[in-house]
Amino acid sequence: MAESYRKINYSLRPAKNIERKMLSEALRRLSYFELVENYRYIGFGSTYFTDFTLFHKSLGIKNMISIERDVYYKTRFEFNRPFNCIQIIFGESNDILPSLQWNVKTILWLDYDTQLNYTMLVDISFFCASAVPGSVIIVTVNAHTYDAQESVKRRLQKLVEQVGEEKVPADVSGRNLKGWEKAKIYRRIITNEIYQTLTQRNGGLEGGSKIKYKQLFNFHYADDAKMLTVGGLLHEENQLDIVDKCAFENLSFVSSDDTYYKIEIPKLTYRELRYLDAHLPYDRNLRELLIPEEDVKKYAQVYRYFPTFAEAEI
């Protein structure tokens, strides 16, 4: 929720654009728990409200809350609110989330743009302790290694400073905090926080009503900085039949473990895109093109979600 919206137009980031559409397709399957339009969506809309627009139009969600910390630009946020059903609440997520009622199934997207820190873990823990079964938590963090020359010792020291020593797995060293390995460590820390919170929550509950976490998302992508998105479903033990009906595993991008799905954007011309679309789902004829096979495969994985940007007079 930092002021990165003043530097980046989030609606024009292709990998992020694809991620949103993938999330939307997966969230549509929650209808076995509850009509998706009856869910509440909480996120960080920024001035673009891109995810709010998508989830309102594609999923029909009307109960929407955008948490905004930049009170100085309050008038600008309110001016850019695309739909009347979006409630904007100004303040820190650590303060806003505990002030809300938690008696409705909720999709929470903690779409941070900075490195993982302790206050983020507080948000994650609160949601997992409070959300009703059938709710979904999604967490995005910046996993970029800013200083490649930083010593191994200093990288580990910074992680400890950010999340707290007790949150860092014992087997993690500074060597694990470079490149995409850093995203893997962040995922472990986030997942550990979810499981630890649920263990505490389940302490006084009977067997069938204990809350379980089913990971659905483990995305790696980089429009610029390396980003991690991880998250999944909270459900009761006795709701496994409902989880099975959702058939999340039928979606190619869903991941239930540490296997990440990397969203990669091939560099293709509009003419090449149109040609590939006409031959997809993937067939052997594509090998005859003068397009690198690697780029063809990347596009074949995401073509249904691929954004098309064009200049237009409005």
Same domain, 183 and 295: no
> What pLDDT, on the 0 to 100 scale, is given for residue 311?
63
Place of tokens 């939307």: 24
Using alpha carbons, list the distances in angstroms from residue 8 to 69, 223, 236. 17, 11, 39
User: Does the pLDDT at position 10 exceed 60?
Assistant: no
Confidence label for 310 from pLDDT (cuts 50, 70 and 90): low
Quote the CA–CA distance of 212 and 200 in Å, as a whole number: 12
- 191 and 238 together in one domain: yes
Establish if 314 belongs to a structural domain: no
Task: Clarify whether residues 163 and 40 are in a common domain.
Answer: yes
Question: 298-308, pLDDT tens digit by residue?
Answer: 999 999 999 87
Q: 178 — phi, psi (to 5°)?
A: -130, 140
Residue 311 is assigned to a structural domain of this protein: no
Q: 3-state class of 216 per DSSP?
A: strand
Same domain, 101 and 209: yes
Mean pLDDT to the nearest integer, 115-132: 98
The pTM of this model reads 0.93
User: What is the pLDDT, as a whole number, of residue 6?
Assistant: 44
Q: Which of 19-33, 115-129, 136-150 has the lowest mean pLDDT?
A: 136-150
CA distances from 175 to 115, 142, 159, 178, 180 (A): 17, 18, 12, 6, 11
Q: Would you say 212 and 137 are in contact if contact means Cβ atoms under 8 Å apart?
A: no
Same domain, 246 and 298: no
pLDDT over 50 (residue 201): yes
What digits encode the pLDDT tens for the residues 87-104? Answer: 999 999 999 999 999 999
Give the burial string for 31-58 (b: 16+ CB within 10 Å, else e): ebbeebeebbbbbbbbbbbbbbbbbbee
| Domain extent at residue 214 | 3-263
| One domain, residues 294 and 208 | no
Check whether residue 149 and residue 123 sit in a common domain: yes
Structural domain includes residue 312? no
pLDDT tier, 147 (very low <50, low <70, confident <90, very high otherwise): confident
pLDDT at 171 over 90: yes
Domain identity same for 93 and 235: yes
Amino acid at 145: T
Residue 15 resides in a domain? yes
Examine residue 313 and state whether it is found in any structural domain, yes or no. Answer: no
Cα separation, 168 vs 174, whole angstroms: 11
On whether residue 310 sits in a domain, the answer given is no
**pLDDT confidence of residue 279:** 86
* pLDDT tens per residue, range 125-144: 999 999 999 999 999 999 99
The count of structural domains within the chain is: 2
Asked whether residue 7 falls in the same domain as residue 150, the answer is yes
Which amino acid is present at 159? L
Strands 211-221, 63-68: pairing is: unpaired
The answer to the question of residue 98 being in a domain is yes
150 and 291 fall within a common domain: no
User: In this model, does residue 1 exceed pLDDT 80?
Assistant: no
Query: 98 preceded by cis ω (within 30°)?
Result: no
CA-to-CA distance for 142 and 244, rounded, in angstroms?
32
Of the pLDDT bands very low, low, confident and very high (cuts 50, 70, 90), residue 283 is low
Across residues 210-225, what is the average pLDDT?
A: 96
CATH of the domain at 110: 3.40.50.150
Cβ atoms 234, 242 nearer than 8 A: no
Same structural domain, 8 and 153: yes
